[in-house]
Amino acid sequence: MGKIAFLFSGQGAQYSGMGRELTQASATAKELFQLADRLRPGTSDQCFEGSKEELSQTRNTQPCLFCVDLAAALALEEEGVKADGAAGFSLGEMAALTFAGMLDQEMGFSLVCQRAALMDEAAQQVDSAMAAVLKLDNQTVEELCARFTQLYPVNYNCPGQLVVAGLREEIEALKPLVKEAGGRMVPLAVSGGFHSPFMAKAAKAFGQELEPLSFESGRIPVWANLTAEPYGQNPKALLAAQMENPVLWEQTLHNMFAAGFDTFIEVGPGKTLYGFVAKTLPQAKAYHVEDAQTLETTIKAVLEE
């Protein structure tokens, strides 16, 4: 077996009840949620019992997802599954950096809360949205977006799937064009046009929050959304710029595979990143961990290889 990568889930995968079983199965996961509740009272309750509407608010989504992502990774590690590298999708990148030791848990969680507040505030300034365009190649989607004034290709997820962000009215106007080109659109459960110029003010403010902090070198490499390459000497700039620039996920997976990673484990709610791996790297092994059953299944499959 080659190298193992942990992939940390992003926004859109959240659901009520997420993380509860992880805290029951893992002492380190339970300790993480206890830390989160001390820093942000009610985080566990939101994860375990929050409504769909409550969990869809960015101020809540990001801290909650951070905890579930990191809890799944910690539970795996606790049972002997070791990651050789990591990547996180958008918000998941914060959890990946924390897991890698570039940030400690308290700082990572506190930064996520600040990031969430800034992005939520930016999202409320304009009526924007995001949608996945399916079954079209990237160039076609880019050309369609270019017909509009504020419509941007932002998440390069996998072959045949590119997420766009833009004004809600322009997202609606894009639908018939996508259909005419042979594709279809799926709206995302997020509250704004992330990874686009709509987040410029938030990215600048987040960069200012990061400036006085010290990042450690990390115990494993983390691939950056912004470059599709491992984090290097300037993590603060990468982390701030990530908020207003596209996520190069498909290229990240290709680069990790080229670096010797052939086993990818999505840690966090849902199977979105698991699906991206299957579509981008069909020759790779893919697993996901979000609850007690998937934790047990993945541990058994990986450790028996």
* Type of residue at 172: E
Q: Whole-model pTM above 0.85?
A: yes
pLDDT score for 190 = 84
Overall size of the chain counted in residues: 305
pLDDT score for 189 = 79
Compute how many other C-beta atoms are within 10 angstroms of the C-beta atom of residue 17: 12
Say whether 254 is catalytic. Answer: no
pLDDT score for 271 = 96
User: Sign (positive/negative) of CA torsion 82, 39, 115, 104?
Assistant: negative
Say whether 288 is catalytic. Answer: no
Q: Tell me which of 44, 191, 195, 288 is the catalytic residue.
A: 195
pLDDT score for 262 = 96
pLDDT score for 191 = 83
pLDDT score for 290 = 97
Q: Tell me which of 90, 128, 191, 196 is the catalytic residue.
A: 90
Torsion angle in degrees (nearest 10) through CA of 19, 24, 30, 34: 80
Nearest to 6 by CA among 131, 117, 95: 95
Residue ranges, the chain, pLDDT below 50: none
pLDDT score for 84 = 98
Nearest to 88 by CA among 201, 241, 199, 223: 223
- Is residue 138 within 8 A of residue 169, CB to CB? The reply is no
- Distance, in Å, from the CA atom of 265 to the CA atom of 96, rounded to the nearest integer, reads 12
Q: Which two tokens stand for residue 98?
A: 């924390």
